[in-house]
Amino acid sequence: MVKNFFLKNEKSPKNIQIKKDIINHFISTGNDTIAELSRELDLSVPTVTKFITELKEQ
């Protein structure tokens, strides 16, 4: 079910992986700021913000 959710809403495997990494981060660590999450995932703050917004809209 989760796999189908990502595949029908996303075309880029890299984007799918980033979204999974964000979800896994929150599952394993709980709440974090976007800045902390961006450091942990080695992504820019705007990139993390974009993906979190997309996840919220899905």
CA–CA gap between residue 58 and residue 54 (Å, rounded): 6
pLDDT tens digit sequence for 12-54? 889 999 999 999 999 999 899 999 999 999 999 999 999 999 9
pTM of the model: 0.77
Domain positions in the chain are 2-57
User: 3-class SS at 1?
Assistant: coil
Looking at CATH, the fold of the domain delimited by 2-57 is given as: Arc Repressor Mutant, subunit A (1.10.10)
